[in-house]
Structure 1
Amino acid sequence: MTTPPGAVITSGDFQGLAILRSLHGHGIPTVVIDHEHCISRYSRDVQRFAKAPSPFRTEAYADFLIDLAKRERLEGWVLLPVHDAVVHVMSKYKTRLETCYRVPTPHWQIIQQVYVKANTYQLAQKHGIPAPATWYPQNEAELVALDLSFPVVLKPSIRDHFYTQVKTKAFRVDNPDDLLRTYRKMCQVIDPTEVLVQEFIPGGPERLFSFTPFFKHGQSVAWLMARRRRQHPMDFGHASTYVERVDVPELKHLAERFLKAVDYYGVAEVEFMQDPCSGVYKLIEVNPRFWGWHSLAIGAGVDFPYMLYQDMIGEPVTPVAIPQGDLKWVRLLTDMPTVGREMLAGRMSWRSYCQSMQGRKVWAVWSRRDPLPFLAEVVMIPYLWLKRGF
């Protein structure tokens, strides 16, 4: 019997762990790589692990992947994208990497439309896809000249240029003095041309939705929709902590229109915020990779890692029915402190929390069959806080 090509999982964090468990269940050989200490090293499913350089050292990371393929005989294996920085490398060096691997990430010409948020919002506007009102001041003088209704949000156009240094995705500002002070603070980290000003949509994660497809030839082969009810922190979260499956047909229509406009291929998370005033779902961002809670889809029968793997090696991918029924995803390590803070602030009751935890659940890390990654994650709390802000 011929051994099938394997897959290189480009992170050993909880997102990569879900991919590892999925592919192991299908008998697919895997190698996990990470530039930091990770919980997947403790999984019973891990076969090989390799320490990588930081993907922010783009050329060194590409060189490492090429060397890894030659050293470990991984020619023809599938590279699976997990983090934004890895997507950047895979898209910029796609042609070179494809001499060794099967690379699902599109070329940079496509990825830059979602990697750079200014491009994303301008493309959405061009194609009539609702998005928050956004301004692009090139300097402080242009910022001051804007006619704004507060509050507004300041955010970086390129997340990795900012978040990796300050562990914050965006700032709410409530008046002109706060606007100028926050803008100057951000300009100490990134170029002023990368600072975006955007309308503030109230409602928090209660109104944060995602459409997640495996997208090919202008349409979704399979998909799942979800509401991301809790995140940490709750205002501009680093990552979701509690997610539930929903069915909002409008999300599919809007997301597919955008992905088709950029000729996208692969898995993606398309995020929307519902404006409580108009009810309109507005495009927030597109993540061209496996997202944090993608194991919710696996639990619902939509195995995105295996689908992408199958398609990349030329096997037919069978469309699956839209999953129905109540299903939640929970990352205990971050959800419990998030819930604690909400209760102390009076925004959540013990009863409402217990109600949210009823029904079928997919745990981000915990597995009775494979418990060590969860135990390792608990021990690693100080490390994870220092390195990633969780």
Structure 2
Amino acid sequence: MKNKAVILGANYYIGLSTIRCLGKNGVVVAAVDYSDNGAYGFRSKYCSEKLIGPHYKENSKAFLEFLIDYAKKQDASPVLIPCADPYVEFVDTYLYELKEYFLIPQTKKGLYTELMNKEKLHSLASLMNVKVPETIRLTEDNYIEKIETILKYPCIVKPVDSPAFVSTFRRKMFKVNDRKELVEAIDKAKKAGLEVIVQRIIPGFDDHMYTFDAYLNQEAKVTNWLTCQKYRQYPINFGASVYTGQKYVQELYDIGAKFLEGVGFKGFAEIEFKKDAVTGDFYLIEVNVRITNLNSLLEKVGVNMPYLTYMELTGEKIEPQEIKKDTGLVFWYAYEDFLASRGYVKTKQLKTSEIIKSLFRPKAYAIWDVSDSKPFFEFNGILMKKVFRKLFK
């Protein structure tokens, strides 16, 4: 395989799983990060090259030059795969410049950003008759009164630009229970210079969250897909997957494939849905346009999204695949699941016995891999340092 794969982001398990998905199939992988500190993905035996470059946001032009300079030195154009939202934004900003030297599935500049932008995503979904949570914008007249009569409390104050919001507040949104909390949340966002919208909370526990994970070829057609059901998230109720199982739900394909093909998407995408506990309707919550948290689960089920990307872009034929059965496999991020479980028990949403009982299922781990254990021990070393710093602060 003459084309290398360049992975943007090695300090989180998404990057690590992507490195493994490619390296196990004989692809030479170069991982990129702005620091070696905490980048446990670098320790994988499947990471052939470790590249430390300028910060993607603090010096984006220098980072662009760094990547292009690397690509120019290669015998064949590398496949470029961003593994975190800020890297996706970077790739989208410089898509045409990067495509001169890298193989990238997306061909339309701005589409990644549109789907990540909650305001634009809402508009696209509405145009295509896909249900989204009822939303009030702060530009509307008497928006507080509308929130209280149409959405009602509790509701959520949600960012338009998720990566910037998470970077600022270390959370995905604000849940508010009354007018005082609503005004405080909006003021916090305004002071940070961040645009927000307010949405109704779709009723249902965290196990009403589902995903449609799909690969779309260069003709923007879904070729490989599966669906999953979340069981636990962190932070609880409005967080990322920490314990999620593969679960076949045909309706998610019917909605999700039509939407992604309709917007002309190419490459890997994951749509998150929530099933209304009252009506049974599925509501589109967000779209992830980079490799997902569940990547190790998808690969274990048999749908290797990074390798599909690599094969198609390097001219190899990919075989269509759809998982229309329940495999019983679950994704498990043990560290954050422990934190989440503590929260569920404390708020009486789950019992300890229910959580323990759920753990006896075959798993795809976020970090642990018996054949590639160094990243696991590196990660635990990072955790221990954090614990010591808190203890002696």
Q: What is the TM-score of this pair, normalised by structure 1?
A: 0.91
Looking at structure 1, the residues matched to 371 and 166 of structure 2 have their Cα atoms a distance apart, in angstroms, of 35
Where structure 2 has 5 or more consecutive residues not aligned to the other structure, the ranges are 388-393
Structure 2 counterparts to residues 229-240 of structure 1, below 5 A: 229-237=231-239, 239-240=240-241
Q: CA deviation at 1:368?
A: 1.3
In the alignment, which residue of structure 2 is the partner of 1:76?
Answer: 77
1:300–1:323 contact (8 Å) kept in structure 2: no
Deviations 1:24-77 (A, max 9, x none): 11111110011243111222222111113222243332222112223x526411
The one-letter amino acid of 1:264's match is F
Find out whether 1:224 has 2:226 as its counterpart.
yes
Q: Could you say if the C-alpha distance between residues 383 and 49 of structure 1 is closer, same or farther in structure 2, counting changes exceeding 3 Å? A: farther
Q: Distance in 2 between matches of 1:185 and 1:167?
A: 13
Which letter does structure 2 place at the counterpart of 1:215? L
Equivalent position of 1:16 in the other structure? 15
User: What is the alpha-carbon distance in structure 2 between the residues aligned to residue 241 and residue 373 of structure 1?
Assistant: 18
- Determine the structure 1 residue equivalent to 2:370: 368
Q: Equivalent residue for 2:391? A: none
User: How far apart in 1 are the matches of 2:346 and 2:155?
Assistant: 27
Q: CA contact under 8 A between 1:74 and 1:101: conserved in structure 2?
A: no
Matched with 2:390 is none
Would the alpha carbon gap of residues 357 and 115 (structure 1) be closer, same or farther in structure 2, given more than 3 Å must change?
same
Q: Answer yes or no: is 1:184 the counterpart of 2:183.
A: no
Q: Could you list the per-position Cα deviations for residues 227-284 of structure 1 after superposition, in whole angstroms to 9, with x for gaps in the alignment? A: 12111110221x2111101111111111112112210000011000111121111000
2:135 aligned partner, one-letter code: T
Counterpart in 2 of 1:327?
A: 329
Contact 1:92/1:107, CA 8 A, preserved across alignment: no
Asked if residue 146 in structure 1 is aligned to residue 149 in structure 2, the reply is no
More divergent stretch after superposition (281-290 vs 87-96): 87-96
Structure 2 counterpart SS, 1:348 = coil
Tell me by how many angstroms 1:156 deviates.
0.6
Counterpart contact for 1:125–1:131, Cα < 8 Å: yes
Separation in 2 of the partners of 1:16 and 1:105? 19
Structural RMSD (CA): 2.0
SS at match of 1:15: helix
Cα deviation, residue 108, structure 1: 2.8
The CA deviation string for residues 87-145 of structure 1, in whole angstroms up to 9 with x for no partner, is 11112211111221111234333223202110001111111101101122238x75335
**1:376 & 1:109 partners in 2: Cα distance?**
36
Query: Contact 1:8–1:78 (CA<8 Å) still a contact in 2?
Result: yes
Q: Distance in 2 between matches of 1:105 and 1:60?
A: 23
Instruction: Give 1:345-384 correspondences, 5 Å limit.
Output: 345-381=347-383
Q: What does 1:164-179 align with in structure 2 at a 5 Å threshold?
A: 164-179=167-182
Determine helix, strand or coil for the equivalent of 2:110.
helix
Please give the alpha-carbon distance, in whole angstroms, between the structure 2 residues aligned to 1:353 and 1:176.
35
- For 1:1-390, list aligned pairs within 5 A: 3-12=1-10, 13-36=12-35, 37-57=38-58, 58-70=60-72, 72-73=73-74, 75-138=76-139, 142-148=142-148, 149-191=152-194, 194-216=195-217, 217-237=219-239, 239-322=240-323, 324=325, 325-381=327-383
The 2-side partners of 1:200 and 1:190 are apart by 24
Contact 1:78 1:101 in 2 (8 A): yes
User: Residues 226 and 364 of structure 1: is their aligned pair in 2 closer, same or farther, counting only changes over 3 Å?
Assistant: same
Aligned length: 378
Aligned in 2, Cα 1:177/1:336: closer, same or farther, shift over 3 Å? closer
Amino acid in structure 1 at the alignment position of 2:7: I
Residues 328-379 of structure 1: per-residue CA shift (max 9 Å, x gap) = 0101121122223323443333332232112221111111111111111112
Contact 1:87 1:105 in 2 (8 A): no
Distance 1:35 1:289 in 2: 19
Which stretch shifts more, 50-59 or 367-376? 50-59
**1:329 alignment partner, SS class:** strand
Structure 2 vs 1, CA of residues 384 and 268 (structure 1 numbering), >3 Å: closer, same or farther?
farther
Unaligned runs of 5+ in 1: 386-390
The Cα of 1:159 is off from its aligned counterpart by: 0.7
Q: Residue 23 of structure 2 aligns to which amino acid in structure 1?
A: H
Whole-Å separation in 2 of the counterparts to 1:155 and 1:257: 25
Amino acid at match of 1:170: M
Asked if the contact 1:90/1:105 (under 8 Å) is kept, the reply is no
Match of 1:214, SS?
strand
User: SS of 2:47's equivalent?
Assistant: coil
Decide whether the 8 Å contact of 2:215 with 2:223 is kept in 1.
yes
Native 8 Å contact 2:270 2:292 kept in 1: yes
Q: Against the structure 1 CA distance between its residues 230 and 87, is the aligned structure 2 distance closer, same or farther, given a 3 Å change threshold?
A: same
Task: State the alpha-carbon separation in 2 of the partners of residues 25 and 220 from structure 1.
Answer: 25
User: Where does residue 388 of structure 1 map in the other structure?
Assistant: none
SS at match of 2:345: helix
TM-score normalised to structure 2 length: 0.91
| Contact residue 248 and residue 323 of structure 2 kept, 8 A | no
Query: Aligned partners of 2:118 and 2:128: how far apart in 1?
Result: 15
Which secondary structure does the structure 2 equivalent of 1:380 belong to?
A: helix
SS at match of 1:162: helix
Q: Give the whole-Å Cα distance in 2 for the aligned partners of 1:213 and 1:312.
A: 16
